[in-house]
A and B are shown apart, each in its own frame.
Chain A
């Protein structure tokens, strides 16, 4: 088995290597070959409809080069460029390899799932899962110190208080305009909601104050515990 390889880094991304391997089988029989990735990262194999092409796995490629044939492989790897990027092992005469028929069906026929932007209430980016497919935590604190659930509740309350203020202190014109937008029943509902909001805000404020006191008093003895374990 003759082989050539080349490795380049992806334009503008020093940490991603693109590897191509050219395999040639000069012998008159089909031969199996194992291409193992030597770079410091997982193999990102070629995919169709999200399914890796047959023969690829995390560590490299395993397949057959036909008699007097040639096969060119390519993959990406999130790792700095090193040379050589692969080891090629000739596994001798090939005698048919099993593949997963279900994966082959998905690869050949296409993923039947509806596109994510067809789903109401989701965006292409946020389908409730992160990139690894794990559901994201709706209460996750990400950059913004206020959790999103709390933030959206506070925003809703703020909106209602704003409407109440316009009705309470506004000029005649402003109040009339606001009343035109909301009928009398809506105003009654708004009043009830604002009373409920006042009670909720008071309860939350008490809870927040007591939790803040407690968290200020906590001092986990990390060092001492580490020595004990």
Chain B
């Protein structure tokens, strides 16, 4: 199963959610942000090399607490990468390893559209502010057009002061909402390569990630 983690707006925590969701689903997390990669890169070939035909998918996947297919960070690499190859690449990752979580870039260009087009389901990451809704709705519309069912919504980095409008998001976007609190362990998880479901399995954040993963799993069995 291929799950696209998208959100339209930048900086809402798509990478963090994708990484932790990947850990909860025991999936490979692909950093599809071809222009501004976030996941730890390490050495060796990356997604740019795969998309430019310089490396095989299996060479580029990096083991670890969560398996990653990282992406290069150079403009030249982004220029050489052919986004149309992304569809085939994601399917090959799925064939080789099983479930795939795709960390989509911000915006609504083809580098979001291609993962959504091949994904079986998508997860929207939104900020718990009302102004974030417009971007989320646009991304949901794109996902609907491209046949990626909306499995769940991560209302990311909520604080008690926010009084997150969970009902509004659920009603307008039409999918179960998981509220991920602003827990510093979540914020650090990508950099430290320690997903919150492993380091703090009883925390509220881990529960939220778990409920998101359960929502994704339920799409799979349907």
Q: Which residues of A contact B (CB under 8 A)?
A: 49, 51, 100-106, 108-114, 116, 118-122, 127, 129
Q: Are A118 and B75 in contact (CB under 8 A)?
A: yes
Q: Are B118 and A112 in contact (CB under 8 A)?
A: no
Q: Are A102 and B79 in contact (CB under 8 A)?
A: no
Binary interface encoding of chain B residues 124-151 relative to chain A, with 1 for a CB under 8 A from any of its CBs, else 0: 0000000000000000000000110000
Q: Which 4 A-B pairs have the closest CB atoms?
A: A105-B113, A102-B87, A101-B117, A112-B111
Closest Cβ of chain B: how far from A11's Cβ, in Å? 32
Closest Cβ of chain B: how far from A110's Cβ, in Å? 5
Binary interface encoding of chain B residues 63-91 relative to chain A, with 1 for a CB under 8 A from any of its CBs, else 0: 00000000000011011110110110000
**In the complex, A49 Cα to B114 Cα: how many Å?**
14
17 of the cross-chain contacts (CB-CB < 8 Å) are A51-B84, A100-B87, A101-B118, A101-B147, A102-B87, A104-B117, A105-B116, A106-B83, A106-B84, A109-B108, A109-B112, A112-B34, A112-B107, A112-B110, A113-B79, A113-B81, A119-B75
The verdict on B195 contacting chain A, using a C-beta distance below 8 Å, is no
The verdict on B35 contacting chain A, using a C-beta distance below 8 Å, is yes
Q: Closest residue of chain A to B111, judged by CB? A: A112
Q: Which residues of B contact A104 (CB under 8 A)?
A: 117
Q: Which residues of B contact A110 (CB under 8 A)?
A: 109-110
**In the complex, A107 Cα to B100 Cα: how many Å?**
25
A49, A101, A102, A122: residue with the most chain B Cβ atoms closer than 10 Å: A102
The verdict on B105 contacting chain A, using a C-beta distance below 8 Å, is yes
Q: Are B79 and A105 in contact (CB under 8 A)?
A: no
**Inter-chain pairs besides A100-B87, A112-B35, A112-B111, 17 sampled, C-beta below 8 Å:** A49-B110, A102-B114, A105-B146, A106-B110, A108-B110, A109-B108, A109-B110, A109-B113, A111-B83, A112-B34, A112-B105, A113-B78, A113-B79, A113-B81, A119-B76, A119-B79, A127-B79
- The secondary-structure label for the interface of chain B is helix
Pick the contact of B83 from A108, A113, A129 — CB < 8 Å? Answer: A113
Closest Cβ of chain A: how far from B145's Cβ, in Å? 9
Q: Which residues of B contact A129 (CB under 8 A)?
A: 80
Q: Are B113 and A114 in contact (CB under 8 A)?
A: no
Given the interface pairs A49-B110, A105-B117, the reply to whether A120 lies near B84 with Cβ below 8 Å is no
**In the complex, A169 Cα to B87 Cα: how many Å?**
66
Q: Which residues of A contact B86 (CB under 8 A)?
A: 102
**In the complex, A101 Cα to B81 Cα: how many Å?**
19
Q: Are A109 and B75 in contact (CB under 8 A)?
A: no
**In the complex, A111 Cα to B78 Cα: how many Å?**
11
**In the complex, A108 Cα to B78 Cα: how many Å?**
20
Q: Which residues of A contact B111 (CB under 8 A)?
A: 112
**In the complex, A129 Cα to B54 Cα: how many Å?**
14
Q: Are B84 and A103 in contact (CB under 8 A)?
A: yes
**In the complex, A113 Cα to B107 Cα: how many Å?**
13
Q: Closest residue of chain B to A105, judged by CB? A: B113
Q: Closest residue of chain A to B33, judged by CB? A: A112
Q: Which residues of B contact A120 (CB under 8 A)?
A: 75
Q: Are B79 and A106 in contact (CB under 8 A)?
A: no
